[in-house]
Amino acid sequence: MASKLALLGGKPVRTAPFTAWPIFGQTEEKRLLRTLRSGKWGRLHGPEVAEFESRFAAMHGCQHGIAVVNGSLSLRLSLIAAGLRAEDEVIVPPYTFFATASVVVEANMIPVFADIDLETFNLDPQAVEAAITPRTRAIIPVHFAGQPADMTRLLALAKKHKLLVIEDAAHAHGASFKHKPVGSLGHLGSFSFQSSKNLTAGEGGIITTNDGKLAAMCRSMQTCGRVPGGLWYEHHVISSNHRLGEFQGAVLNAQLDRLEAQTKTRDRNGADLAARLAKIPGLFPQKRAADCTRHSYHLFMLRLDAAKFGAPRTAVLKALRAEGIPCSAGYGFSLPQQPMFRNKAFGPYLPKASARLDYAKVRCPNSDLICREQGVWLEQNLFLGRKADMDDIAEAFEKLHANRAALNDLPA
């Protein structure tokens, strides 16, 4: 007989907490104190952000790294630095954090949604191709959850249609595609260092590129449109002060020392769990594409097909938490269905184009299905421990499946 669900008074699979995030220690303390005592707290005077920019870029196969205050800004500056113009169309996935699409509007450009693949949860290249119009100028593939998007097909489409490719690698620090690091695959890469991310200083972002011209423009835009050799109060392009501070640079440098080992651990544990969960009827962990040579598992995501599993998502999530496994349903809206897009609450942006846009009518069936019914997320810190942690997670799912009848009887 299946052991009783914790939700119904049984013994939980796990009571110990998982690895807490963020992880920090003496290296962070040393660098922070050194920065404090130096009195050089800004990017213009201290060494930390500059060191971080070159180390992070090099780790991601790039010559240039331009750090900014967050990963939304790194996307928006990338669009503008590349010379895109007002009302240009930019193809984005509907299943991603708000910023991937909202920054397009904030750059006065038009987000066009192309659906994701139901197995990899990344942009479906066929849907991208169908979304291309004569006004399309760029694609922003998200390496969702830490698995690189299908860059072979997306880059081929971009080449054919002369499109800019900005990788949104906010989930994908240290991930690789055919052994090439993300951030170096498109024209520009964008990363976030917000609190939940695999590399964090609380907030922060960076643009990576191997294109010297784009790098120079991003650098200028990072710092009020200034240019090398120019006067201090000489400004060449529209921009503001978007620089990251030295305290964040200090933390990021220390965190970067830990990234390689942490990424290996997450990748090993994530792959292990995916193999075990795939054996349970109705569970579909993110399919690992053959070209994904390293997954950073910012999220471990799966689809739960309630009919095949035998119990609905809400009950499963509730029961899983009671078994000691933190989890969530992830995004509740496909982006076109977000109130901002549905209501075209664009503020001063897109004054003319907005009249002909109708996001309320946009349907992305795969993304819609995942948001509405099937998405299940486990966060990256769960994957920083030992194999025994994966055993607990797998055991909890197995226990829920064995008790699926009881899960259906739970009060709503």
Is 235 among the residues known to form the active site?
Answer: no
Is 161 among the residues known to form the active site?
Answer: no
Q: In the complex, which residues of this chain contact ligand PLP (CB under 6 A)?
A: 70-72, 96-97, 99-100, 142, 168, 170-171, 192, 194, 205
Catalytic option among 26, 37, 162, 233:
233
Q: Which is nearer to ligand PLP, 116 or 316 (CB)?
A: 116
Helix, coil or strand: residue 128: helix
Strands 188-192 and 164-168 come out as parallel
**DSSP assignment letter at 378:** E
Q: Which is nearer to ligand PLP, 170 or 378 (CB)?
A: 170
Residue showing the smallest CB distance to ligand PLP in the complex: 71
Cβ of residue 71: shortest distance to ligand PLP, in angstroms?
Answer: 3
Cβ of residue 203: shortest distance to ligand PLP, in angstroms?
Answer: 6
Catalytic option among 88, 117, 124, 168:
168
Task: Please state the φ and ψ torsions of residue 67, each to the nearest 5 degrees.
Answer: -85, 140
Residue 341 CA: distances (Å) to CA of 107, 300, 345: 15, 27, 7
**DSSP assignment letter at 303:** E
Q: Give, to the nearest 10 degrees, the angle between helix 313-322 and helix 387-402.
A: 130
Looking up tokens 């194999």 gives 387
Catalytic option among 137, 226, 258, 295:
226
Q: Which is nearer to ligand PLP, 201 or 311 (CB)?
A: 201
Residue 107 CA: distances (Å) to CA of 80, 295, 352: 7, 30, 14
Cα torsion angle, 62, 66, 72, 76, sign: negative
Is 171 among the residues known to form the active site?
Answer: yes
Q: Which is nearer to ligand PLP, 99 or 390 (CB)?
A: 99
Cβ of residue 317: shortest distance to ligand PLP, in angstroms?
Answer: 20
Q: Which is nearer to ligand PLP, 137 or 298 (CB)?
A: 298
Catalytic option among 31, 137, 187, 197:
197
Cβ of residue 142: shortest distance to ligand PLP, in angstroms?
Answer: 5
Residue 126 corresponds to which tokens in the numbers above? Answer: 């066929």
Task: Please state the φ and ψ torsions of residue 192, each to the nearest 5 degrees.
Answer: -120, 145
Cβ of residue 40: shortest distance to ligand PLP, in angstroms?
Answer: 24
Beta bridge partners of 302: 285, 376
Is 97 among the residues known to form the active site?
Answer: yes
Catalytic option among 31, 137, 171, 303:
171
CA distance 141 to 123: 6
Is 308 among the residues known to form the active site?
Answer: no
Cβ of residue 279: shortest distance to ligand PLP, in angstroms?
Answer: 30
Q: Which is nearer to ligand PLP, 63 or 194 (CB)?
A: 194
Q: Is the peptide bond before 47 cis (omega within 30 degrees of 0)?
A: no
Is 243 among the residues known to form the active site?
Answer: yes
Beta bridge partners of 285: 302
Residues noted as catalytic = 97, 168, 171, 194, 197, 226, 233, 243
